[in-house]
Amino acid sequence: MHRDVHGDIHGDVHVDAVELDPELVGAGGADADHDVAQYAQWLGDDALVLAQRLGAWISRAPELEEDIALGNIALDLVGQARSLLHHAGTADGRSEDDLAYFRDETEFRSSWLVEQPNGDFAATIARQLVASTYMHELYARLQHASEPTLAAIAAKAVLEVAYHRDHAVQWTLRLGDGTDESRRRMVAGLDAVWPYVDELFADTPLIDRLGDRAVRPSTLREPVLAALRDVLRQAGLAEPDLPPAPCGGRAGRHSEYLGYILAEMQVLARQHPGASW
Amino acid sequence: MDGEVARAWQAAAAVVDPEVPVLTIEDLGVLRSVTVTGDTARAAITPTYSGCPAVDAIRCDVADALRGAGYRDVSVDVVLAPAWSTDWMTDAGKHKLRAYGIAPPSGRAAHSGPVPIALSVRCPRCGSLSTREIAHFGSTSCKALYECSACLEPFDYFKVH
């Protein structure tokens, strides 16, 4: 929880009373129960960690338009993460900021896919292709879930991630079917992320308990893989033949990368709790 | 809409989008409802995009507008459902957008099937339909960057969403 930092050494930081953010409520506005909160953290943490990764491209993308594109995609993802984590927090009185900034690595429920390094532009596009194709299938179904707030968030998000997917598809076609060098990089990028695709489709007891309030991950495997294979075929690329990596993101076991991502994302909020500007 | 609600609605509806200051939130379809009970006014707005930073500014501006109209107890909710779409933009809003130099959304967002057909985007300066997309993502979440092949001017396009 936030500490009261009035009068400490950070005298120039404006400190507000931290209170629950009343915005971004969903259709019914009902609080999440513990299971819905857990599931909202799966989705919210995926969006948040991927946004943090993409944000690192700002000022470093290969051209200005792509700088803006990756930044815009990250912004959409931050918005989705805010809605999802706000809803998760209603289960136990935490705010979206509490969940984003004041949870440690083992409390995050993001998948290993979104933690993977940016690499070169092709590697980022490969990660975007998988992530946005998965999110699009997920939100397209979740908008019909029986949990009204999750459904409302998904109905908004599905339009945004469709655009992200379109962006990733266009670049996959261009790079895969481009020069020898662009193709080499796209193949390497796909190889780097492919072992982390399988984790996205793993069911857990949580999913059994949620029933039609959530989307069963295993039901996404066929449509997501079919959509990915279709893009790869058009780009003249083969599906990587690589075994799944042992992942544990939904249980709080993460790759070596997440700690560094969180350190950068959380440092300001932890050094100056309640800071605003 | 009774007279008191209409008065509160008019106050809230006059708030403009901070990024596109020729459009009011009524033109955009962002203002969803206004209710009044005594000196309490409650407005509901809906975000154009999940991460749109203008939503926070619009919330504050709507609250200020309602206070300015004399309501002492004011609240502004952000509602997600039903999800905003460019179909909600009024015709008046589209005209204002074009006059401002931003091409309004062409076609409707509501569609079935996975791939909507992209209609030609008309250049807001010379009216030519001979335009091309330079970048999928533009200066804000809601816009893409286009260039006119006739007058050679670049312009923002408020994308169908």
**Residue that has been written with the tokens 């009185």 in this structure:** A93
* Residue A91 near residue A85, CB atoms below 8 Å: no
Domain range list for chain B: 3-78, 87-158
The residue among A105, A104, A114 whose CA lies nearest residue A77 is: A114
CA closest to A163 among chain B residues: B136
pLDDT for res B117: 55
CATH for B3-78 is 3.30.300.130
Across the interface, do A152 and B109 touch by the CB < 8 Å criterion?
no
Q: Write out chain A residues lying below 8 Å of B136, CB-based.
A: 69, 163, 166-167, 170
Q: At what angle do helices A121-142 and A148-176 cross, to 10 degrees?
A: 150
Across the interface, do A82 and B134 touch by the CB < 8 Å criterion?
no
Rounded to a whole number of angstroms, the distance from the CA of A243 to the nearest CA of chain B is 30
CA closest to B135 among chain A residues: A65
Strand partners, A203: none
Across the interface, do A166 and B78 touch by the CB < 8 Å criterion?
no
User: Which amino acid, one-letter code, is at B3?
Assistant: G
pLDDT for res B120: 86
Half-sphere exposure at residue B27, Cβ-oriented, CA atoms within 13 angstroms: 17
Tell me the pLDDT tens digit for each residue of A132-163.
999 999 999 999 999 999 999 999 999 999 99
Rounded to a whole number of angstroms, the distance from the CA of A162 to the nearest CA of chain B is 9
CA distance A246 to A184: 26
**Residue that has been written with the tokens 């998948």 in this structure:** A111
CA distance A273 to A10: 10
Q: How confident is residue B106, by pLDDT bands cut at 50, 70 and 90?
A: confident
User: Kind of pairing, strands B143-148 and A275-276?
Assistant: unpaired
Please state the rounded mean pLDDT for residues A221-227. 98
The residue among B29, B27, B31, B26 whose CA lies nearest residue B98 is: B27
Q: Write out chain B residues lying below 8 Å of A23, CB-based.
A: 55-56, 59, 77-78
Strand partners, B78: B45
- The answer, yes or no, to whether residue A7 has pLDDT greater than 70, is no
- The answer, yes or no, to whether residue B136 has pLDDT greater than 80, is yes
Q: Write out chain A residues lying below 8 Å of B79, CB-based.
A: 25-27
Q: How confident is residue A17, by pLDDT bands cut at 50, 70 and 90?
A: very low
pTM confidence score: 0.89
Partner residue facing B80 (CB), from A24, A71, A77: A24
Which residues have C-beta within 8 Å of that of residue A70, sequence separation ≥ 6? A54, A57, A58, A61, A124
Token representation of residue A261: 């991502």
Rounded to a whole number of angstroms, the distance from the CA of B130 to the nearest CA of chain A is 21
User: Kind of pairing, strands B102-103 and B154-158?
Assistant: parallel
Measured CB to CB, residues of chain B less than 8 Å from chain A are 47, 49-53, 55-56, 59, 75, 77-85, 109, 134-139, 141, 145, 161
Across the interface, do B79 and A83 touch by the CB < 8 Å criterion?
no
Q: Write out chain A residues lying below 8 Å of B116, CB-based.
A: none
Tell me the pLDDT tens digit for each residue of B52-92.
889 989 999 999 999 999 999 999 998 888 889 899 999 99
ipTM of the complex: 0.85
CA distance A89 to A111: 20
Could you give all domains of chain A from N- to C-terminal order, each with its CATH number?
29-239+248-276 (1.20.1260.10)
- The answer, yes or no, to whether residue B51 has pLDDT greater than 90, is no
Q: Write out chain B residues lying below 8 Å of A166, CB-based.
A: 136
CA closest to B137 among chain A residues: A69
Across the interface, do A80 and B49 touch by the CB < 8 Å criterion?
no
- The answer, yes or no, to whether residue B43 has pLDDT greater than 50, is yes
Across the interface, do A23 and B134 touch by the CB < 8 Å criterion?
no
Q: How confident is residue A27, by pLDDT bands cut at 50, 70 and 90?
A: very low
